[in-house]
Structure 1
Amino acid sequence: MSLQEMGCVLVTGASGFVGSSVLQRLIVDKREELVAVIRRDNAQTPAGVMRAKVESLGPDCQWQSALNGVRVVIHAAARVHMMNDQVADPLTEFRKVNVEGTLNLARQAAVAGVRRFIFISSIKVNGEGTPVGVPYSADAQPAPADPYGISKMEAEQGLRALAAETGMEVVIIRPTLVYGPGVKANFLSMMRWLHKGVPLPFGAIHNRRSLVALDNLVDLIVTCIDHPAAANQTFLVSDGEDLSTSELLRRMGAALGKPARLLPVPSWVLETGAAMLGKNALSQRLCGSLQVDISKTRELLGWAPPVSVDAALRKTAKHFLDHRTQ
């Protein structure tokens, strides 16, 4: 069944990093009927796209008008993971949006006749790290270690139960770290350091980490809109090439035209220093490994990442250079 036969596509979080790129890809693909859920009042809605205004993403949100005529929901909106969350009870706050809010939308979607619900989850459902050469698989036992990962796992569990109850197809996608034009947080800091020529103590890090370029993630999401084999499946997604922190910095530096100045500080020194400063989570991201096996995604969907790591890094670097303010 083609997308045109399936009806409108609704994208939540359509002004966010992933959601906005999904929307732009669907526009380029000339998908005629699109509904964008954009909560920021100052965010622009692309021409030809219907805008749905909702007051919140929580458990009391009313979605009926936004779901009118919709046959596919791509749910990219979420309360996102934050390194230094200041709320008193992070798990409760994550659950309000990521669990209760997601299931509220999904229940109303099922009642409205939505055929497929695509949920953008997180690799944090699997856990925080892997031994080198022992990647996570899509069907492995979940082992989330923080409130964000727990909330995503609980949302997945609720969606699977709802699919069994209602017949609405659910597709779950767990991305690794997503990078691309406009990326924020640690990846942006890394580019700033490299561009300024700051010496970095990561020349002796021999970990392996799976990343996913924004274009590759978006391509998989769009593939899952109408691929029959995607129904009621969970997929991991990455670029298909794992990098050490040292290698990532060197290749990102090359994309920026600024060779990385890396000092060969042993990883145990960095990990000890990070522990003393209470930065264990950051240390895990820089020194630890996290690999994923995307063979199920490749084989079941006939999918392969269309963009290479170096091409994606060059695109990311160009956006950074074109928009940098310091």
Structure 2
Amino acid sequence: MKVLVTGSSGRIGLAVVEALLAKDHTVRGFDLRASGRSSSHYDEVTGSLDDVRAVENAVSQVDAVLHLGAFMSWAPQDKAKMFSANVEGTRLLAHAASAAGVRRFVFASSGEVYPENAPLSLPVTEDQPLNANSPYGLTKLLGEEIVRFHQRAGKMQTVILRFSHTQDASELLDENSFFSGPRFFLRPRIRQQENFGNHAVAEILRVLDTGEPAHILARNEHGRPYQMHITDTRDMVQGVLLALQHEDAAGQVFNLGATDPVDFEALLVHMSDITGLPIIIADLPGQGVYYQTSNEKIRRILGYQPVWTIERMVKEAGEARRRRRSS
């Protein structure tokens, strides 16, 4: 099978390409950045999702598309770019794929279509109403509707995967990680909130800064610690490949992520034991992040079996941190 992977230079895209090549598929990557990969079973198109010519070149003579590429940002100035890539780009890609005779089109959506950070009930299942409340979530919701349109047209099988928050395990204890730095370390969190324009929150955090590196345990305004799903990239790859190949995936929508949510209070104690850094508790305005998303459907129908628990991930993160500090 020849498979097009969009976002092939991203975290999940890179891992998916490796997994496909290991299974002797022929792969074409499509990304803004060239990967530098050299393989007789791999070629790539460099370009943007809203470039018609690049998209048409990318889908030429492929059997399936894994549309993992997207632009994610919370910065107000990036809204137009995000809609261009995630909505118009998905429209162009799905149209071109259908016209080119692609058999299966797998779309990476997001839990932000519900959204998970404001669930109507727990656990969040695939039949919960879709009420995206962020620009990024809206772009993914519109992308889903484009994909559903092509499923209804009957020319191309489609699968929608609502991605959990995903991390490489090695990132979890890295202050410089785009996601984990601000999530688990105080000073990166302050910088992030300043960049978002959340100056009041940044000031709350700045008051807590003792002048030494520290973890942050975020709680909501009532003192409830945050809870969310954090899924290892390797488990996400397993789910993507099942969506690509499993006969029963066609026409379906699945939550894709870890089985159990992560309680930040317990997690930060574990992290602090490894790093030796103190934990600063921050009660932040609002309801905070607290959700549990069910992956029961993808486990039942496709046989998905995530194996990278948060305990295994943190153990690997500690080993990676020690290597960084000794090099």
Structure 1 gap ranges (5+): 1-6, 273-279
Q: CA deviation at 1:59?
A: 5.6
Q: CA deviation at 1:33?
A: 1.0
1:241 and 2:240 aligned: no
Which residue identity is paired with 1:151?
T
Deviation per CA, 1:68-99: give whole Å up to 9, x if none. Answer: 3311111111111x233434xx1x33221111
**Structure 1 residue aligned with 2:77:** 86
**Structure 1 residue aligned with 2:87:** 99
Q: Is the 8 A contact 1:250 1:260 kept in 2?
A: no
**Structure 2 residue aligned with 1:225:** 244
Deviation per CA, 1:44-88: give whole Å up to 9, x if none. Answer: 2243342222432116344333323311111111111x233434x
Q: Is the 8 A contact 2:186 2:214 kept in 1?
A: yes
Which residue identity is paired with 2:68?
A
Residues 294-309 of structure 1: pairs in structure 2 closer than 5 A: 294-309=295-310
Distance change in 2, residues 1:246/1:49 (3 Å): farther
Question: What SS does structure 2 have at the residue aligned with 1:51?
Answer: strand
Alignment partner for residue 66 of structure 2, among 74, 89, 108? Answer: 74
The number of residues matched between the two structures is 296
**Structure 1 residue aligned with 2:190:** none
Q: CA deviation at 1:37?
A: 1.5
Distance change in 2, residues 1:93/1:210 (3 Å): same
Distance change in 2, residues 1:301/1:325 (3 Å): same
Deviation per CA, 1:2-25: give whole Å up to 9, x if none. Answer: xxxxx2011111111111111122
| RMSD between aligned residues | 2.9
Which residue identity is paired with 1:140?
Q
- TM-score, with normalisation over the residues of structure 2? 0.80
Structure 2 gap ranges (5+): 172-176, 188-211
Distance in 1 (alpha carbons) for counterparts of 2:312 and 2:33: 31
Higher strand share: 2
**Structure 2 residue aligned with 1:160:** 148
Q: CA deviation at 1:175?
A: 1.4
1:56 and 2:57 aligned: no
**Structure 1 residue aligned with 2:24:** 31
Which residue identity is paired with 1:55?
G
1:262 and 2:255 aligned: no
1:200 and 2:216 aligned: yes
Q: CA deviation at 1:191?
A: 5.8
1:271 and 2:271 aligned: no
**Structure 2 residue aligned with 1:185:** 178
Q: Is the 8 A contact 1:217 1:238 kept in 2?
A: yes
Q: Is the 8 A contact 2:158 2:252 kept in 1?
A: yes
Distance in 2 (alpha carbons) for counterparts of 1:215 and 1:109: 27
**Structure 1 residue aligned with 2:313:** 312
Alignment partner for residue 151 of structure 1, among 139, 146, 167? Answer: 139
Distance change in 2, residues 1:9/1:325 (3 Å): farther
Distance in 1 (alpha carbons) for counterparts of 2:183 and 2:322: 13
Distance in 1 (alpha carbons) for counterparts of 2:321 and 2:68: 24
- TM-score, with normalisation over the residues of structure 1? 0.80
Q: Is the 8 A contact 1:175 1:212 kept in 2?
A: no
Q: Is the 8 A contact 2:184 2:217 kept in 1?
A: no
Question: What SS does structure 1 have at the residue aligned with 2:179?
Answer: helix
Which residue identity is paired with 1:86?
Q
Question: What SS does structure 2 have at the residue aligned with 1:53?
Answer: strand
Distance in 2 (alpha carbons) for counterparts of 1:38 and 1:318: 31
Question: What SS does structure 1 have at the residue aligned with 2:59?
Answer: coil
